[in-house]
Structure 1
Amino acid sequence: MDTEKNNQPENKGGGQGEDNANSGKNGQSNSSFVGNDENALMQERKKKLEEMIARGINPYPYSYDVTHKAAELKDKYIGLAQGAMTNDSTSIAGRIMAMRRMGKVTFLDIEDQTGRMQAYLQRSDLGDENYSILKLLNIGDIIGVKGKVFRTDRGELSVKAEQYASLCKSIRPLPDQYYGLKDPEFRYRNRSIDMIMNPGVSEVFKKRSQAIQSMRSFLDRRGFIEIETPVLQPIYGGASARPFTTKLNAFNMEVYLGISPELYLKRLVVGGIERVFTICKNFRNEGVDKTHNPEFTMMECYAAYMDYNDMMELTEQMYARIFNDVLGKTKVNYQGTELDFTPPWKRVTMYDSVSEHTGIDVANMTKEQIKAETERMDYNKQMTVAEEDTKGSLVEELFKIYCEKQIIQPTFITDHPKESTPLCKIHRDNPDLIERFEPFVFGMEIGNAYSELNNPIVQRRLLEEQDRARIAGNEEAHPIDEAFLMAIEYGMPPTGGLGLGIDRMAMLLTDSRSIRDVIAFPFMKLG
């Protein structure tokens, strides 16, 4: 806002007569706008709306001709001198975020998707009738302004209005700009007002969008074809997770929201699409925390004639390309720590990681020896050791509890125990392991990849074992997908597969602490 005469803004957040009335302490409890004060303010706005209609003004027109965004004007006129007036006409539109009336002159801060632009409205330019209508506007209203571009004596780039139009009369006041929105719970539940009051939120979603565009471009240049897979599935599979269940009334059958697109994408590889990917929603009925949301977005791709070593290279190259495209660099600050995504990333086997962080040499120990050593060193009693545990499951648990959070820089954790998934090839050098990796950053898993199992006989046996586990009560085991098994019986070439979480990538790109910060509408409890 221009400060030509050092006057204070008329309002800090709500429009005329609404100073601070619509915000509780710290912008929290009253941000939901309940109570008598809020009702009074809304009634005042409704009266203004009625007066506009009575004066023949349509407060909600169908369209408006916008010629420039705020950022475009600021870039174009970056060299315009203080006090200089141009003959260039422009038309801008956006939400009124600040307003100051000084008798015959009114200053407005108008915010669009790219930033803010000041509008200068003078009674002598608009005429008495049009100028008087300004009193019917409030902070939060959306308006359009047409006029000439100039820079004030104080250096503020502005539009000197020749005409203006109400584009949407708001009837609910905004929170106070001084306090803003401090309560994360309210922000997540009311993303629209969060984006209005906190411009940085919109930037998060812009960067997320740019990352997805960059990812698509990266894969397209390497010959991958994007194909959608079903969200509604008669059989769930491709991951260890509990599904969401629903009913398809037309067929009177139980169906599931997809937990993974993996089995469908492999069927496409069988069909001759040698490089395929999808960017999709997955749904897993499990825990919710700062890195997990029941509904999340991932990219999954498969490439014939590649293995997990190729997929490691693909992963680090893709991350580097995306970070360069979005941020212009591969070194970023995340939660106070510098992370370097420049390839090549560190590669560490799961056995070596467990040995490094626990001192237990699991590679050269039996299940019984690992159990005994675990009981000795597990001083926090974080592990639950069961009789049916295998060596592989113990190693996985040790890694999860003692290693994951220690991995800060981008690192591939490779060569997992064979018990960890039924969809991956046995390691070519060790029959107790599989050719699987998970990339970790800042203690967070950001993906998963295999040298894909393509032996149909072994695949059937492993999936039958999974199905028996499911019947015995394992809620994360999945049933047999006969359509998938039939497909690979026709023959699937050697294939590398990779899944990357879009939400966690967005967290790293935008220095966001919680997955809820990078999902526009994260799932929330009712209430």
Structure 2
Amino acid sequence: MEIFDNVLEQQRIEKADELRNLGANPYPHFLQKDMSITEFKAKFDYIKELENKRCDEEVTLGGRLKLKRVAGKSTFGNIEDESANIQIYYSRDSIGEEDYAKFKKNLEVGDIVLVKGYAFITKTGEFSIHVSKLVLASKAICLLPEKFHGLVDIETRYRQRYLDMIMNPEVRDDFTKRSIIVSTIRRFFEDKGFLEVETPMMHPIAGGANAKPFVTYHNALDVERFLRIAPELYLKRLVVGGMEAVFEINRNFRNEGMDLTHNPEFTSIEFYWAYHNYKDLMNLTQELFLTLIKRLNLDEIVEFDDMKIDFSKPFARISYKDALVDIGGLDVKILDDKTAILAKLKSDGFEANDKLDMGHLWAELFDNYVEAKLINPTFITDFPISISPLSRRSDEDSQIAERFELFIAGRELANGFNELNDPLDQYARFKAQIDAKNAGDDEAHEMDEDYVRALGYAMPPTAGEGIGIDRLVMLLTNKKSIRDVILFPAMKPIKNLETQENKE
């Protein structure tokens, strides 16, 4: 099957050939525009106050033709660039009889054009450009969706993001905001004295977080490699090496399910700060969020998914145990009774694995009774140590980790803690993770002896944190699905979808 086998697409190919026969290359290069449409509108806005409603200065604009209406010897159209759209007007007299005849027949909606002309206001009061020269910059073979209905099919929008962006300018705006968010985060940390670094994407050991890895193979080295779950252990090696404040913005990969908040590859920032503690990180995180809200010109009351999230007040802080009782509504008496916890979970219809230790059972309680209720920014602190294998133990309670997670709108957005820098304790924790893996926990950490040896050279007191950038962008652009903030999200192959539909 040919790619462009549609009858209408074949007709457009014929028109491209006809243009070539007329001496007009349908795909020319070395073309330049003078300014964006937004800049054009701003520069010549003064003509609205002039008596003749026009100016004499000509400039060149470029954009995609989104509308074309021929009226005999003249044509009205609309072109759009990444900044805005504008009405264009040209006639047989303004661009010449030969070009007018050529473009009347062969110029179509979807084509990209350059137009040279001057600003004027039409009789109907619309700011426009009066075209004296028109050049086809790129011929579109594929037809755009019908304008009235637009592009609404969600599968098509995600699979063909380029088409989504052509038809829905607000999508481009969302991804522009994403870029602003990332650049603001980078500048924020640089201004605080952090150094941006890059660490490996392929790891010899799957570590840094509890998750299933993607596995690949390095032919030259004849070894298995894992796409990184998290950069944590490499970044902390750099702290051992003397870099006292580092950050990395990059991709992580987790071979897990997909839903509204999970994509198998996602972007995060991780940062590590020597001679600081997790309370410093909470303060820094709140400052970062307020900086982003200001940079995006958002109100301090942010709307997200029918919720109003209040950023005007200091972020709440509550311990893990207190959250189970005060927010989750659980009886404090059951929290130290494994049998009672299992009974509570089962009675409320939740899965209850009697092989889990108390820390993991608390995590089940938290996930089911607390998380969804955390709407306004809330730091949950003092996690169970068994679910925090890389965190430092509390000096006051060895079963508690000096750790926090930030929850907003019922979702985790950040995870930070005082880093475990005792090599013997870390080695023991890794061995416990191996026991957990042997017991069936396929997301448990692998043993990383080189990292333990790095700690043996002494790492200063350090706090570290990771923030999921995709979820952060979702929050600040009011998007319910992570696919709406990732340019090219993971999708099921079309063949698999067709098989599934046939079964249904």
TM-score by length of 1: 0.90
Q: Secondary structure at the match of 2:242?
A: coil
C-alpha distance in structure 1 between counterparts of 2:193 and 2:174, whole Å: 29
The 3-state SS of whatever aligns with 1:453 is: coil
Q: 1:121 to 1:418 in 2, by over 3 A?
A: same
In the other structure, the counterpart of 1:9 is none
1:115 aligns with 2:84: yes
Q: Residue 425 of structure 1 contacts residue 452 of structure 1 at CA under 8 Å; is this kept in 2?
A: yes
1:221 aligns with 2:191: yes
User: Do residues 453 (structure 1) and 423 (structure 2) align?
Assistant: no
2:55 equivalent in structure 1: 86
Checking the alignment, whether the CA contact within 8 Å between 1:367 and 1:390 is kept in structure 2 is no
Secondary structure of residue in 1 paired with 2:347: coil
Which residue of structure 2 lines up, in the alignment, with residue 424 of structure 1?
391
- AA partner of residue 441 (structure 1): I
Q: Is the 8 A contact 1:320 1:343 kept in 2?
A: no
1:145 aligns with 2:115: yes
Structure 1 residues 377 and 248 mapped into 2: Cα distance closer, same or farther (>3 Å)? closer
Amino acid at match of 1:509: L
Residue 87 of structure 1: SS of its match in structure 2? Answer: coil
Give matches, 1:352-501, under 5 Å: 352-362=322-332, 367-368=336-337, 370-372=338-340, 375-376=343-344, 378-386=346-354, 388-501=355-468
CA distance in 2: counterparts of 1:352 and 1:62, whole angstroms: 65
SS in 1 for 2:390: coil
How far residue 244 of structure 1 moved from its aligned partner, in angstroms, is 0.2
Aligned with 1:511 (options 470, 478, 491): 478
Aligned twin of 2:13: 46
Within a 5 Å distance, the mapping from 1:7-22 to structure 2 comes to: none
Counterpart selection for 1:185 from 137, 155, 158 = 155
State the Cα distance separating 1:75 from its structure 2 match. Answer: 2.2
Secondary structure of the 1:309 match is helix
Instruction: Report if aligned partners of 2:334, 2:341 keep a CA contact under 8 Å in 1.
Output: no
Counterpart contact for 2:335–2:362, Cα < 8 Å: no
Partner of 2:497: none
The alpha carbon displacement at 1:467 in A equals: 2.3
Give, in whole Å, the separation in 2 of the partners of 1:332 and 1:353.
24
Task: Please say if residues 316 and 343 of structure 1, whose CA atoms lie closer than 8 Å, have aligned partners that are also in contact.
Answer: no
- SS of 1:208's equivalent in the other structure is helix
Partner of 1:26: none
Q: Check conservation: 1:308, 1:451, Cα contact below 8 A.
A: yes
| CA distance in structure 2 between the aligned counterparts of 1:471 and 1:382, rounded to whole angstroms | 25
**Do the aligned partners of residues 344 and 441 (structure 1) sit closer, same or farther apart at CA in structure 2, a change above 3 Å counting?**
same
- CA drift at 1:104: 1.4
Alignment match of 1:105 (pick from 74, 78, 81): 74
Write out per-residue CA displacement over residues 252-273 of structure 1, whole angstroms, 9 at most, x where no aligned residue.
1100000000000000011111
Structure 1 residue matching 2:94: 3-state secondary structure: helix
**Mean CA deviation greater in 411-420 or 333-342:** 333-342
State the number of aligned residues. Answer: 490
CA drift of 1:329 comes to 3.7
Distance 1:365-1:432 versus aligned 2 partners, 3 A rule:
farther
2: distance between equivalents of 1:305 and 1:131? 71
Q: How does 1:273-284 map to 2 (within 5 A)?
A: 273-284=243-254
2: CA distance, partners of 1:353 / 1:44? 65
Instruction: Say which of 61, 68, 73 aligns to 2:40.
Output: 73
Q: CA offset at residue 394 of structure 1?
A: 1.5
Of 74-83 and 56-65, more deviation after overlay is shown by 74-83
8 Å Cα contact 1:360-1:373 kept in structure 2: no
Counterpart CA distance in 2 for 1:334 and 1:473 is 38
Comparing 461-470 and 244-253, the one that deviates more: 461-470
- 1:92–1:145 contact (8 Å) kept in structure 2: yes
Report if the CA contact (8 A) 1:226-1:277 is conserved.
yes
Distance 2:298 2:17 in 1: 50
Counterpart secondary structure, 2:141: coil
Per mean C-alpha deviation after superposition, the further-off stretch among 456-465 and 343-352 is 343-352
Equivalence for 1:292 = 262
Amino acid at match of 1:484: Y
Equivalent-residue separation in structure 2 for 1:121 and 1:354 (angstroms): 69
Which piece of structure 1 moves more, 40-49 or 283-292?
Answer: 40-49
Structure 2 CA distance for aligned equivalents of residues 416 and 271 of structure 1 = 29
1:165 aligned to 117, 135, 143, which one? 135
Q: What's the CA shift for 1:385? A: 3.6
Q: 1:233 aligns with which of 197, 203, 214?
A: 203
| More deviation, 321-330/166-175 | 321-330
The Cα shift of 1:148 comes to 1.0
Cα separation, 1, equivalents of 2:382 and 2:15:
68
Q: Which amino acid aligns with 1:242?
A: K
C-alpha distance after superposition, 1:229-276 (max 9, x if no partner): 110111121100000001000011100000000000000011111000
Equivalent pair of 2:341/2:361 in contact (CA under 8 Å) = no
Deviations 1:181-214 (A, max 9, x none): 2221111111111111111111110000000000
Query: Which residues in structure 2 correspond to 1:234-273 (within 5 Å)?
Result: 234-273=204-243
How far residue 470 of structure 1 moved from its aligned partner, in angstroms, is 2.4
Whichever residue aligns with residue 382 of structure 1, its letter is F
Structure 1 pair 339/77, CA: closer, same or farther in 2 (3 Å)?
farther
1:350 partnered with 2:320 = yes
Cα offset, 1:70, TM superposition: 1.1
Normalised by the size of structure 2, how large is the TM-score?
A: 0.94
With over 3 angstroms needed to count, the CA separation of the structure-2 counterparts of 1:343 and 1:495, relative to structure 1, is farther
C-alpha displacement of 1:457:
0.9
Unaligned runs of 5+ in 1: 1-32
Residue ranges of structure 2 left out of the alignment (5+ in a row): 495-504
Cα deviations by residue, 1:357-410 (Å, 9 ceiling, x for unpaired):
443344x65632x53255247533213140x33222221110001111111111
1:326 corresponding residue in structure 2: 296
CA distance in structure 2 between the partners assigned to 1:287 and 1:350 by the alignment: 26
Percent identity, aligned pairs only?
41
CA distance in 2, matches of 1:465, 1:63: 63
